[in-house]
Chains A and B, each alone.
Chain A
Amino acid sequence: MKTQIKEFYGKYRVFIYPAVVSVASLIIIILVLIPQIQAFIDGRSTLEDANQKSKFLETKASELSNIDSEDLSKKLSLAVSSLPTDKDYGSIIGIIQRIGSDTGARIVSLSISSGAAEKNVGFSVQLTVIGLKESVDRMIENIENSPRIMKVSNMEISTSRTDGAVGADFVVNVFYEPAPKTLGSIESELPKFSQADEEILARLASTSLSTTSPSSPTGPSQLLPRGKANPFQ
Chain B
Amino acid sequence: MNTISINLLPFDTALKQKKQRKFRLVQVISTSIFIVLVFLASGAVSLRILQSQDIKKIQTEVKAHENDITAQKDKESGVLVLKSRLDIISKYIGKVSKQVSNYKFISEETPESVDVSSISVENNGSMRISVLATNSQALDGFIEGLISTEASVIFSKVEIETLSRGRDATYRANLRLVSK
Chain A interface (Cβ within 8 Å of chain B)?
13-14, 17-18, 21-22, 24-25, 28-29, 32-33, 36-37, 39-40, 43-44, 46-47, 50-51, 53-54, 57-58, 60-61, 64-65, 67, 69, 72-73, 75-76, 79-80, 82-83, 117, 120, 133, 137, 140-141, 144-145, 147, 149, 151-159, 161, 175, 177, 179-180, 183-184, 186, 190-191, 193, 196-197, 200-201, 203-204
Query: Is B161 in the interface zone, CB < 8 Å from A?
Result: no
Q: Give the distance in Å from the alpha carbon of A85 to the alpha carbon of B171 in the complex.
A: 51
Query: Is B153 in the interface zone, CB < 8 Å from A?
Result: no
Interface of A is mostly: helix
Query: Total A-B residue pairs with C-beta atoms closer than 8 Å?
Result: 204
Are B55 and A43 in contact, with the CB atoms below 8 A? yes
Query: Is B88 in the interface zone, CB < 8 Å from A?
Result: yes
B contact residues, total (Cβ < 8 Å): 68
Q: Which residues of A contact B19 (CB under 8 A)?
A: 14
Q: Give the distance in Å from the alpha carbon of A141 to the alpha carbon of B94 in the complex.
A: 11
Interface of B is mostly: helix
Closest A-chain residue to B87, C-beta based? Answer: A197
Are B81 and A180 in contact, with the CB atoms below 8 A? yes
Contact of A47 among B45, B51, B119 (CB under 8 A): B51
Q: Which residues of A contact B107 (CB under 8 A)?
A: 133, 137
Are B81 and A175 in contact, with the CB atoms below 8 A? no
Measured CB to CB, the closest approach of chain A to B39, in angstroms, equals 10
Are A177 and B88 in contact, with the CB atoms below 8 A? yes
Measured CB to CB, the closest approach of chain B to A193, in angstroms, equals 7
Q: Give the distance in Å from the alpha carbon of A149 to the alpha carbon of B30 in the complex.
A: 85
Measured CB to CB, the closest approach of chain A to B152, in angstroms, equals 22
Known: A28-B38, A33-B44, A183-B81. 18 other contacts (CB 8 A): A37-B44, A47-B54, A50-B58, A58-B65, A61-B68, A64-B75, A64-B79, A69-B75, A72-B78, A82-B89, A144-B97, A155-B103, A158-B119, A159-B116, A175-B88, A177-B84, A183-B77, A190-B76
